[in-house]
């Protein structure tokens, strides 16, 4: 990864490609690349859908190597949903393929005049930007099927559906999985709308003729990767729980804890949660000839995904993740996994974030557009988004907009991004991260990384309540660093519990780049990324007053624990005080 | 269970059918237990779960919807709801973990020891099993017996496929053999009654 491609979509005479060296971005990848570049190069007051915004696409630091779990792709820009800086990442094949072609980043800049739609082909011979108006308003599944006829099955596709073209604020960018299904999405923050604004419908990435990226110290790298994989395989979460049930294994547990937001955050428990659980889902997938264990990219040894078939054994969608099953399920009072799977397929096909869309439908239900628990109505609302009707455009612009248009008070967003599937009144520590992350409410912003091993900012006594601020800070720093490596965040448990697995990760990073990597280096990287993101947001007009949860979390106790969110504003303001 | 009549039903099933009972177990089943003791004693002495297994595999436990950190100080009341889970992914998974590093993040809902007067007596509790613990602990609970309202059991049997009934080798209803297929008859169990259901999964012949 020794070059950066910049594609000026608004250049006079048509899009212009410039390939240059890494310069000040040398050694960066993933979120570190996207956030540092956006912070340095995008005017903080730029309109997110205007020519001044940039869409930075970057494989992780270890993507394209033989290392396991290294296939996450980061996409960054100023978010049209939140107005903040945004990094959204996904699995799929794109990161590996792009990295093998040597690109540390592909940057879409400017904005073309006129109505033409473009596709970008990246291969060993260079980059071509081609007008293809035959793709207009196609959704992701038929779009990829059409592109495959021309470019075949040995490439990776990044595409936007009709939602991205319409510049809806919930629009995602789809990355194809190993079976070339557009199932892995950079979902959060409306990154698909930014790609749509630049009139780019598809990026076709072909690494034919390219080799794996070679490590500086191949032997040490191979050895570290072997230990890393052993660590993942022996840990009960990464070696057993996730492969067997996927992330939806959390449904039963969150419901039991009273932290499963139900009917638009009115209760913390859903009576029919067992019908939606990962255990039920996995059994159904196996019974119908699908699969409960599947990797979103080659090289994943955890394989938390799966294949969801209908009762006749026909493919419906990939295994919906916990957040999706929640947002389209319990959040809307819906308990039918087939309905959730259909909505997941529609999200992927139209190209919208499953969390944002599910939460939005729940808000629409609160507005009286449908009854909670009405499966058919939820599907009808999604069809409005698919058709691009005025109502569909409102819904496709997310929960905050929908709440405003329909006068709903209980709108679960932070910085206008929908909250994921955990009620912060039950799990207060999560609320700290939701409130303060640079990205808007985001469950992955503070992941359970090895902060106890990293000792970010010194030792913390986690059993003290005041330790929650430190925990959230440390989690956010560690997550920013892991997001930069291209590693899937689900490695977190194994590296948290098993110091030797964490050391193996450090050794992979170090031996690949021919340096010695320590925990302190990881902390420094995470802090650098977060500082740049915070600085961008400040210049974009965000203050500490935006680092708050909606008032209803402070005012409305939630069953069964009858608790409100009790963290003080002054405490929240301490999170980034390092 | 305060219902008047209790029917005894014993099933001998093939191993393949164990999964059919998972929906019941994850939703929660009522079991007889000696209450007034610690959760530690309930698990080890009454449910015969080895301490090492509990430490390594049952990493998350809820008592009446509250995550617990100490087995020794959690006292079991009559009608307590106990949910047992294996290791969970994600930050919330880590947060709920027993005695875990992130326990402070859910401090507001954590179960704390109480000194209330808990009468030491035979009663019932409700137990839920999640994820990896379903196949590992499920057979033990099913064999010891679960108490289930007749209506719920009828609904359970009604939805079962032919494959399920083929895997039912024999059934004893109040000690009398009964053809397994007949168990799906809605009028088999008196209304408002409860059934004590024991399921054995003998090893293949
Ligand atoms: S663990 Fe899941 S999300 Fe992570 S790389 Fe594997 S399949 Fe993708």
Higher pLDDT residue, A551 or A479? Answer: A551
Shortest alpha-carbon distance between residue B59 and chain A (Å): 10
Average pLDDT on A75-82 reads 98
A531 within domain boundaries: yes
**Is residue B72 a contact partner of residue B101, using CB atoms and an 8 Å limit?**
no
Most confidently modeled range among A495-509, B53-67, B95-109, B189-203:
B53-67
User: Mean pLDDT, to the nearest integer, of A517-528?
Assistant: 86
Domain containing residue A126? 3-205
| pLDDT at site A463 | 43
Number of domains chain A contains: 3
Residues A450 and A567 in one domain: yes
pLDDT value for B1 = 45
ipTM of the complex: 0.90
- Per the prediction, chain B carries an average pLDDT of 89
- Whether the CB-CB separation of B126 and B28 falls below 8 Å is answered with yes
Mean pLDDT for A400-425 is 96
User: Which residue does chain A place closest to B104, by CA atoms?
Assistant: A463
- Cβ neighbors of A503 (< 8 A, separation 6 or more) are A227
**Does residue A146 sit in the same domain as residue A10?**
yes
Q: Are residues A200 and A317 in the same domain?
A: no
Same domain? A106 vs A154: yes
**For residue A9, pLDDT beyond 80:** yes
For residue B116, what pLDDT band results from cuts at 50, 70 and 90?
low
pLDDT at B29: 96
Residue A172's closest CA among A157, A199, A195, A191? Answer: A191
Structure tokens at A448: 């359970």
Residue pLDDT, tens place only, B8-57: 999 999 999 999 999 999 999 999 999 999 999 999 999 999 999 999 99
Residue B117 is predicted with a pLDDT of 67
The verdict on A327 and A194 lying in the same domain is no
Pair A77, A175 in one domain: yes
Residue A455 reports pLDDT greater than 80:
no
Pick the last residue of a domain from A159, A178, A205.
Answer: A205
Helices (H) and strands (E) in chain B, counts: 7, 10
Does pLDDT of A451 surpass 60? no
Residue A222 lies in a domain: no
Residue A264 CA to ligand 1 center (angstroms) comes to: 28
The residue contributing the CA closest to ligand 1 atom 4 is A488
Which has the minimum average pLDDT: A252-261, A357-366, A568-577?
A568-577
Q: Is residue A216 part of a domain?
A: no
Domain of A323, CATH number, reads: 1.10.569.10
Is the pLDDT confidence value at A452 over 60?
Answer: no
Structure tokens at A25: 């971005």
CA of A96 to the centre of ligand 1 (A): 14
pLDDT recorded at residue A449: 46
Report the pLDDT value the prediction gives residue A481, as an integer from 0 to 100. 83
Query: What digits encode the pLDDT tens for the residues B68-97?
Result: 999 999 999 999 999 999 988 877 788 888
Domain endpoint, select from A390, A418, A446: A418
Least confident interval from A333-342, A388-397, A452-461: A452-461
pLDDT tens for residues A305-347? 999 999 999 999 999 999 999 999 999 999 999 999 999 999 9
| Long-range pairs, A464-468, Cβ under 8 A, ≥24 | A464/B104, A465/B104, A465/B107, A466/A571, A467/B104, A468/A428, A468/A429, A468/A432, A468/A567, A468/A571, A468/B104, A468/B105, A468/B107
Range A105-135 burial, b when 16+ CB lie within 10 A, else e? bbbbbbbbeeeebbbbbbbeeebebeeeeeb
Look at residue A482 in the predicted model and tell me its pLDDT: 83
The pLDDT of residue A23: 96
Domain membership flag for residue A212: no
**Do A363 and A307 belong to one domain?**
yes
Residue extents of the structural domains in chain B: 1-32+133-205, 37-118
% of chain A beyond a pLDDT of 90: 82
Which CB contacts under 8 angstroms, 24+ apart, belong to B110-114? B110/B66, B110/B67, B110/B68, B110/B69, B111/B62, B111/B63, B111/B64, B111/B66, B111/B67, B111/B68, B111/B69, B111/B74, B113/B70, B113/B73, B113/B74, B113/B75, B114/B75
State the CATH number of the domain containing residue A490: 1.10.599.10
Q: How many percent of chain B have pLDDT more than 70? A: 95
Check if A320 has its Cβ closer than 6 Å to any atom of ligand 1: no
Query: Is the residue at A108 inside a domain?
Result: yes
What's the rounded mean pLDDT across residues A484-489?
Answer: 86
Is residue A493 within 6 Å of ligand 1 at its C-beta?
A: no
Mean pLDDT along residues B135-157: 95
Q: Are residues A381 and A442 in the same domain?
A: no
Asked whether residue A512 is domain-assigned, the answer is yes
**B-chain residues within 8 Å CB-CB of A240?**
86-87, 132
- Residues of A within 8 A of B27 (CB-CB) are 274
As a whole number, the mean pLDDT across chain A is 93
């Amino acid at each position: 990864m020794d070059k950066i491609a910049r594609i000026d979509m608004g250049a006079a005479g048509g899009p212009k490609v410039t390939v240059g060296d890494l310069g000040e971005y040398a050694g960066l990848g993933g979120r570190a690349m996207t956030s540092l570049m956006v912070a340095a190069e995008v005017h903080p007051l730029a309109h997110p859908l205007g020519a001044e915004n940039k869409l930075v696409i970057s494989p992780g630091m270890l993507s394209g190597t033989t290392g396991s779990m290294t296939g996450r792709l980061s996409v960054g820009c100023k978010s049209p949903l939140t107005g903040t800086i945004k990094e959204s990442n996904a699995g799929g094949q794109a990161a590996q393929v792009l990295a093998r072609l040597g690109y540390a980043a592909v940057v879409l800049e400017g904005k073309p005049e006129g109505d033409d739609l473009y596709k970008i082909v990246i291969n060993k011979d260079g980059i071509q930007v081609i007008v293809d108006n035959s793709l207009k308003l196609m959704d992701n599944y038929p779009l990829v099927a059409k592109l495959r006829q021309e470019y075949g099955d040995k490439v990776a596709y990044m595409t936007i559906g009709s939602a991205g073209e319409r510049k809806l604020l919930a629009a995602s960018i789809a990355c194809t999985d190993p079976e070339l299904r557009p199932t892995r999405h950079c979902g959060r923050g409306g990154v698909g709308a930014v790609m749509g604004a630049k009139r780019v419908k598809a990026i076709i990435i072909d690494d034919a003729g390219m080799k794996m990226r070679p490590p500086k110290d191949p032997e040490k790298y191979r050895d570290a990767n072997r230990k890393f994989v052993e660590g993942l395989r022996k840990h009960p979460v990464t070696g057993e729980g996730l492969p067997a049930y996927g992330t939806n294994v959390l449904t039963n547990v969150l419901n039991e804890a009273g932290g499963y937001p139900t009917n638009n955050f009115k209760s913390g428990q859903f009576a029919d949660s067992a019908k939606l659980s990962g255990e039920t889902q996995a059994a159904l997938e196996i019974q119908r000839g699908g699969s409960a264990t599947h990797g979103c990219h080659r090289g994943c040894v955890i394989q938390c995904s799966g294949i969801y078939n209908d009762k006749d054994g026909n493919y419906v969608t990939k295994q919906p993740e916990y957040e999706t099953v929640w947002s389209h399920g319990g959040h809307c009072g819906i308990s039918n996994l087939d309905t959730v799977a259909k909505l997941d397929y529609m999200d992927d096909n139209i190209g919208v974030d499953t969390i944002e869309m599910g939460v939005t439908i729940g808000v629409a239900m609160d507005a009286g557009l449908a009854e909670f628990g009405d499966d058919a109505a939820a599907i009808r609302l999604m069809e409005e988004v698919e058709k691009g009707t005025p109502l569909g455009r409102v819904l496709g612009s997310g929960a905050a907009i929908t709440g405003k248009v329909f006068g709903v008070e209980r709108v679960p967003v932070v910085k206008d991004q929908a909250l994921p599937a955990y009620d912060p009144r039950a799990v207060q520590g999560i609320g700290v991260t939701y409130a303060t992350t640079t990205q808007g409410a985001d469950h992955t912003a503070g992941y359970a990384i090895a902060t106890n091993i990293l000792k970010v900012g010194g030792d913390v006594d986690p059993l003290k309540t005041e330790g929650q601020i430190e925990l959230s800070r440390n989690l956010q720093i560690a997550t920013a660093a892991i997001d930069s490596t291209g590693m899937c965040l689900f490695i977190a448990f194994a590296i948290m519990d098993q110091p030797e697995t964490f050391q193996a990760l450090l050794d992979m990073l170090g031996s690949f780049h021919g340096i010695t990597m320590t925990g302190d280096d990881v902390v420094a990287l995470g802090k650098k990324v977060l500082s740049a993101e915070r600085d961008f947001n400040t210049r974009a007009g965000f203050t500490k007053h935006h680092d708050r949860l909606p008032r209803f979390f402070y005012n409305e106790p939630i069953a069964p624990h009858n608790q409100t969110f009790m963290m003080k504003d002054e405490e929240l303001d301490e999170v980034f005080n390092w | 269970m305060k219902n008047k009549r209790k029917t005894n039903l014993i099933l001998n099933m093939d191993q393949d059918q164990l999964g059919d009972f998972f929906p019941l177990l994850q939703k929660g089943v009522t079991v007889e237990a000696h209450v007034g003791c610690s959760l530690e004693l309930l698990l080890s002495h009454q449910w015969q779960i080895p301490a090492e297994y509990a430490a390594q595999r049952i990493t998350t436990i809820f008592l009446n919807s509250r995550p617990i950190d100490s087995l020794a100080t959690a006292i079991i009341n009559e009608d307590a709801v106990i949910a047992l889970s294996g290791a969970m992914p994600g930050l919330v998974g880590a947060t709920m973990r027993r005695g875990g590093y992130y326990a402070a993040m859910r401090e507001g809902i954590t179960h704390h020891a109480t000194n209330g007067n808990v009468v030491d007596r035979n009663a019932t509790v409700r137990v839920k099993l999640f994820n990896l613990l379903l196949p590992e602990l499920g057979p033990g609970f099913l064999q010891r017996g679960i108490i289930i309202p007749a209506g719920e059991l009828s609904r359970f049997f009604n939805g079962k496929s032919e494959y399920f009934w083929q895997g039912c080798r024999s059934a004893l209803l109040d000690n009398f053999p009964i053809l397994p297929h007949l168990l799906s008859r809605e009028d088999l169990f008196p209304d408002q009654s409860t059934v004590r259901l024991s399921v054995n999964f003998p090893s293949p012949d």
